[in-house]
Amino acid sequence: MPFSALGLSALTSANGFTLWHYRTDDLRAAVLAPGYFAPASAQLLPGDIVIVQASDSTALVPIRGGTLVGGGVTVDGSGGAPTLLRSATLVADLDLAANATPRAIELDIVGELLFEGEVLDAGATITGPIAQVTFTLLTSAGSDAAAPQTVAVAAGRAGATFAVPPPGGGYRLRAVETADPTLFALSPPFAVTFPPKLLAEAGGRLLTESGGLLLL
């Protein structure tokens, strides 16, 4: 009979070596014939040992190159089948020691009235081992309204200054840990308004700064 893959099973494997068990109704001589284990060439490697339980004997057979087998050692010439117990209990205990290290970035509150041309002070309170923070002024669309600024953290504080952008809404400040961009803080949206204008009075009429008549 030809080789049967149903009769082959791996018993144990370690360090590139595998111990196999093969049960067949063929004679031991047929199993030792060249090319018998060729269908199992992808599994059997040189140096592996196969416990062959043939119809006439039980033998330990080494695998050579190209799935050729050696002469092996006959364990039992009577053909009695040995009892092989394949069971194992693996117990693994893992102890992991860890220390929690808090890290946080808390942005200062942005002033309520911002006018174009003024200076916007961006500040943040830093908790934990954070060396540098990158501040960015964002538009309502999420793009940069000014070039990002990377500053060092000193005494738990970090800060940067930006020129107040043109009037509009939805501006935000973002502070990011430079070494770990996943840690960041984002301010609530804020608006930039036009600066206040002065009115003048002439002949019982209100005039704008440019001298134009203000109609009410």
pLDDT tens digit string along 150-196?
A: 999 999 999 999 999 999 999 999 999 999 999 999 999 999 988 77
| Average pLDDT score over residue span 75-100 | 69
Token pair recorded at residue 86 = 């394949």
How far, in Å, CA of 77 to CA of 52, rounded? 12
Coil vs helix vs strand at 141: coil
Phi-psi category of residue 59: left, alpha or beta, with phi > 0 → left and psi -120 to 50 → alpha: beta
pLDDT higher than 80, residue 145: yes
| Average pLDDT score over residue span 132-148 | 95
| Average pLDDT score over residue span 47-68 | 86
Domains and CATH numbers, the chain: 5-76 (no CATH), 104-192 (2.60.40.1930)
- In percent, the amount of the chain with pLDDT more than 70 equals 88
CB 66, CB 85: distance < 8 Å: no
Task: Tell me what the pLDDT averaged over the chain comes to.
Answer: 86
Read off the amino acid at residue 105: I
| 154-177 burial: b if 16+ Cβ within 10 Å, else e | eeeebbbebebbeeeeebbbbbbb
Residue 94: C-alpha distances to residues 51, 89, 102 (Å): 36, 16, 25
- Greatest Cα-to-Cα distance within the chain, rounded to the nearest angstrom: 132
What φ, ψ does residue 155 adopt, rounded to 5°? 55, 40
At 86, is the pLDDT very low, low, confident or very high (cuts 50, 70, 90)? low
Element (H, E) at 149: strand 149-152
| Average pLDDT score over residue span 87-98 | 78
pTM for this model (two decimals): 0.50
